[in-house]
Amino acid sequence: MLTTLVSFIVLLLVLIFVHELGHFLAAKLLGVKVEKFSLGFPPKLWSKKIGETEYQLAWLPLGGYVSLLGENPGVEIPPEDQARCFSAKPLWVRAIVVAAGPLFNIIFAVFALWVVNFSAGVQYVLPEVGPVAEESPAQKAGLKTDDMIFLINSHPITSFSEIQEIVDISANAFPGKPITLTVHRPNGEKGEVINLQVTPEKSEWTDLLGDAQKGWTIGVKPRTKPIIDEAIAGKPAQEGGVLPGDIIVSIDGVLTPDWTDVMSVIKGTDVTEEVDGKIVHQKPKPLKVVIDRNGQEVILSLTPVLDPVIQPDGKTGFTPILGLKPRMSIMRRPLSLKDSFFAGVEETWAVSVLTVKTFIRLFQTKISVKVLGGPLMIAEVAGKKAREGLVDFIWVMALISVNLAIINLVPLPILDGGQLLFFLIEAIRRRPLSLRFREACQWVGVTAMVALMILVFYNDIHRWVTRFSGPAVSQVEVVE
């Protein structure tokens, strides 16, 4: 709990400081007087005036602000400070000062991911074949689970993601033409190297945002062996005696050669029915789990528990789990200082695009507002990543920094994006909007932000209440 609280406060203060520092430095460099620099909202915890600026730390760490001379109309400006008044500055100066906050959040994300990539390298999944889809091009060509693809059309392959990239390039250039996969197949002591001719076929799927995508596929998934990396404390597997390194051979008589089989069998034990408009789960029954432990067969009886999950529609559902984490075939590739920087730029761009698309889907009501999270969700994620290590904590800080930048660019009057929209209208009209209109818009913006805060707090509290109250469970056990 303490780790979660501390990591949450550190994350917020760092990101707020970065954002406000952007406004502060831009104002200073462009000759605008900064009256106050505050981390957090009142009441005031500490303050000190250095030069002409008061630096303040406040109790509520959910935001911050930089107070500029002349940004609030109706305040009398001393004659000697007229030239340093924000409202008296040219339009381009005001726009840069306002845009500098979100820009610094983006720059921080690039820098943070640069550090992460250089210190830890980039993750990649080995090009080892997992489940092969029935009647897929891969199955027809003879590709099997555990095959390691290391060449496609004589092009070296080091990660699973490269398989899809090269398949798309080849199939788009030469539709209907087979591609040559060179694989190492574990067969005997040394295995064997074979060439297979695979003809990609067109496929459709939905992405993370539920949008339909089209492309080429050969019908394979990455390999994740059913080897246990961790039995989560307090969950059925750990309490039932599962140990790291155990290999799950079967569950209730169903063989589980891949981790997808393990998940499928466990998930398939969930039996539900609708009673008075409410989903009721059957009480989970014990599962016979056969384990290979250092060559010895171990049989355990484990009863799944229903764990809360956020569904695509934003509602909280429940799925049966044993509390297991598999040993992933994930490797890390070290990067040079230069390559780490460009990788950080690419990741920041990808997160920015995904965030913008998510906001568009929210406005289109294609994604439920119930998926939005507030301070409680951020605190939970921050605490989890902090416990996993500094690199993971910096990584999630970079992602939230991008989100903060995009949110601030939303054209809502109270946000930076709203101010930039006003400046754009002013540039087109060649005169500023009336004070009355801007004040009315500010009230609309404040109302919208208050409504948004109420919504995300409600979502957070609802998730916690649902999580601890648990699902509706029928006490009638299924007898087979």
Residues labelled catalytic: 20
Taking the CB of residue 234, how many other CB atoms lie within 10 A of it? 9
- Is the CA virtual torsion 97, 103, 104, 107 positive or negative? negative
Residue listed under structure tokens 């406000």:
20
Tell me the C-alpha distance between 405 and 266, whole Å: 40
What is the full DSSP assignment across 177-211? --EEEEEEE--TTT-EEEEEEE--EEEEEE-TTS-
| The dihedral formed by the CA atoms of 399, 403, 409 and 414, expressed in degrees to the nearest 10 | -130
Q: How far apart are CA 160 and CA 147, in angstroms?
A: 12
CA dist., res. 279 & res. 292, Å (int):
37
Q: Which residues contact 204 (CB under 8 A, 6 or more apart)?
A: 212, 213, 214
Nearest to 353 by CA among 207, 138, 143: 207
Euclidean distance between CA atoms 457 and 144, whole angstroms: 49
Alpha-carbon distance 151 to 179, whole Å? 10
Q: What is the rounded distance in angstroms from the CA atom of residue 228 to the CA atom of residue 63?
A: 42
Angle, CA of 280, 282 and 284, to the nearest 5°: 135
Is 406 buried (19+), middle (13-18) or exposed (0-12) by CB count in 10 A? buried
Give the Cα separation of 331 and 126 in Å (integer).
7
Q: Tell me the three state secondary structure of residue 157.
A: coil
How many angstroms separate the CA atoms of 387 and 381, rounded? 10
> In the 8-state DSSP scheme, what is residue 128?
B
C-alpha neighbours within 13 Å on the C-beta side of residue 177: 12
Q: How far apart are CA 332 and CA 149, in angstroms?
A: 18
Q: Which of 152, 157, 163, 239 is nearest to 197 (CA)?
A: 152
